[in-house]
Amino acid sequence: MMKKVIYFIVVILTLIVTGCANTGTQQALSSGESQVKLRSFQTRAFDTTDKEKMLRMVLATLQDLGFVIDKADSVLGSVSATKLSGYQLKMTVTVRSRGTTQMLVRANAQFNLTAVEDPAPYQDFFNALGKAMFLTAHAVD
Amino acid sequence: MRYSQIRRKSIFGVVIAIFLLLTGCVTLPPDALKPGPESLADRQLQTRRFDGIIENDLLSASSGVLQDLGYTLTESETKLGVIVADKDRDATDAGQVAAAILIAMFGGGSMAIEKNQKIRISLVARPASDRNPKSHYIRVTFQRIVWNTQNQVTRIEPLRDPKLYEGFFEKLSKAIFLEAHKI
C-alpha cells in the first residue's frame, strides 16, 4: 500500500515540476494554436472608419470590464490594460482600418502565465465592445 | 471504516490538494471578460461628467490632482484622453502586526505580514456629446498589488471603496475650478 502511495506522489511531483508549459527560451516564439486560427477568433471587423472613436470605445469597454489601462497609442492604434482580481489578466487591443468602410479590432490576452487561446473570452470581449459601439461585430474570414 | 482506510483516504486528499495548489494551471474564470452584475454600479461610481472645460484642460487638471495625491505618471496619451499613474506605499496593517507579535510571543515563529503596495490608477476622458467640445465623462479605475515581508504577492485586487472615488472626484472638481480660473 505504502509503495503505491509513494509511486502516486512521484507521478504527481513529476507533473508539478514539468508544469503545464514547456520551459526555456523556446517560449519566446511559441504559440499553442495555429496562427490563422488564433487571428480568426481574436479579430473582428466593425462598420466604422473613425479610428479615434473606436479606440476610445475600446478604452471604455476595458474599464467597464474592470481593467486598468497600462498604455495607449493613437498612432499605432493600440491599447494595453491589466485586470487584477485575485488573478492577473493582461490584454492588448489594436485597431486598424480595413478597406474604406471598416475597422479591424484585434485582441490578445494573457492570464497569469499563459496565453488565452480559448475563443469564448474573446467572444465576450467583442460582444461588450459591440454593445458599447451599438455596432455588430463581424467575424473575419 | 478501518483506521488504515481512513488514513489512506486522507493521504490521497492531501496529495490532491497539494497538486491543485502547486500546478498553477488555474484557468481563466468564464466571466472574466463579461460585464458582471456589479459593473453598472461600478460604472456609476467611477464616472463623473464635467462641463465647461475642454479636454486638454481637463486632462491637465487631472494630472495635477494625481500629483497632489502623490502619484507619478507612467503613461499618457492626450489624443485618446488617457492618463496612467501609480504610487508605491506602505501597506502595513496594525491588526496584522499585532497578530504577528502574538504568534511570535507564543513561539509560533515569525509570520510574514503585508508590507508594500503599488496602487495603480487609469483615468480616461471621453467626450459626452459629439457637438459640445466642453462636455466630458471622466472614468477612473484603481487597483493594487500588495507584497508581504517575504516579497511574496499577497493581494492583487481592484479597489472598490466608494469613498475613494468620491474623494477623488471632489478633488478633481476643485482642481477643474482652479484650472478654469487659471489659478
The minimum CA-CA distance between A25 and chain B, rounded to whole Å, is: 20
The residue segments making up the domain with residue B166 are 39-180
Residue A90 within a domain: yes
Interface test with B, best of A41, A55, A56, A68 (most B CBs within 10 A): A68
Residue A1 within a domain: no
Q: ipTM of this model?
A: 0.78
pLDDT value of residue B16? 55
Q: Residue A77: which CATH number?
A: 3.30.530.50
pLDDT value of residue B3? 60
Residue A43 has, within 13 A of its CA and on its CB side, a CA count of: 16
DSSP B87-121: EEEE---HHHHHHHHHHHHTT------EEEEEEEE
Residue B32 within a domain: no
Residue B173 pLDDT grade (very low, low, confident, very high; cuts 50, 70, 90): very high
Residue B13 within a domain: no
Residue B130 within a domain: yes
pLDDT digits (tens, 9 = 90+) for A72-126: 999 999 999 999 999 999 999 999 999 999 999 999 999 999 999 999 999 999 9
The residue segments making up the domain with residue A60 are 39-139
pLDDT digits (tens, 9 = 90+) for B52-94: 999 999 999 999 999 999 999 999 999 999 999 999 999 888 8
- Tell whether A4 lies on the interface with B, counting CB pairs under 8 A: no
- Of B119, B121, B117, nearest to B75 by C-alpha is B121
Report how far residue A53's alpha carbon sits from residue A77's, in angstroms, rounded to the nearest whole number. Answer: 11
Residue A7 within a domain: no
Q: Tally the domains of chain B.
A: 1
The position carrying cell 471603496 is B161
CB contact under 8 A, A20 and B25: yes
Please report the residues numbered 125 through 164 in chain B whose beta carbons come closer than 8 angstroms to any beta carbon of chain A. Answer: 126-127, 139, 141-145, 156-158
The CA R_g of chain A, rounded to the nearest whole Å, is 19
- Tell whether A113 lies on the interface with B, counting CB pairs under 8 A: yes
Q: Residue B170: which CATH number?
A: 3.30.310.80
Question: A37: helix, coil or strand?
Answer: helix
pLDDT value of residue A116? 93
Residue A46 within a domain: yes
pLDDT digits (tens, 9 = 90+) for B16-52: 555 555 555 578 899 899 988 888 899 999 999 999 9
pTM: 0.79
Residue A12 within a domain: no
Residue A4 pLDDT grade (very low, low, confident, very high; cuts 50, 70, 90): confident
Are A92 and A83 contacting, i.e. CB atoms less than 8 angstroms apart? Answer: no
Question: B179: helix, coil or strand?
Answer: helix
pLDDT digits (tens, 9 = 90+) for B154-166: 999 999 999 999 9
Residue B82 within a domain: yes
The position carrying cell 507619478 is B72
Strands A102-111, B82-90: pairing is unpaired
pLDDT digits (tens, 9 = 90+) for A57-68: 999 999 999 999
Residue A47 within a domain: yes
Residue A19 within a domain: no
A38-72: string of b/e by CB count within 10 Å (b at 16+)? Answer: bebbbbbbbebeeeebbbbbbbbbbbbbbbbbbbb
Report how far residue B128's alpha carbon sits from residue B131's, in angstroms, rounded to the nearest whole number. Answer: 9
Q: Tally the domains of chain A.
A: 1
The minimum CA-CA distance between B12 and chain A, rounded to whole Å, is: 8
Residue A77 within a domain: yes
A102-112: string of b/e by CB count within 10 Å (b at 16+)? Answer: bbbbbbbbebe
* Mean pLDDT computed over every residue of chain A: 87
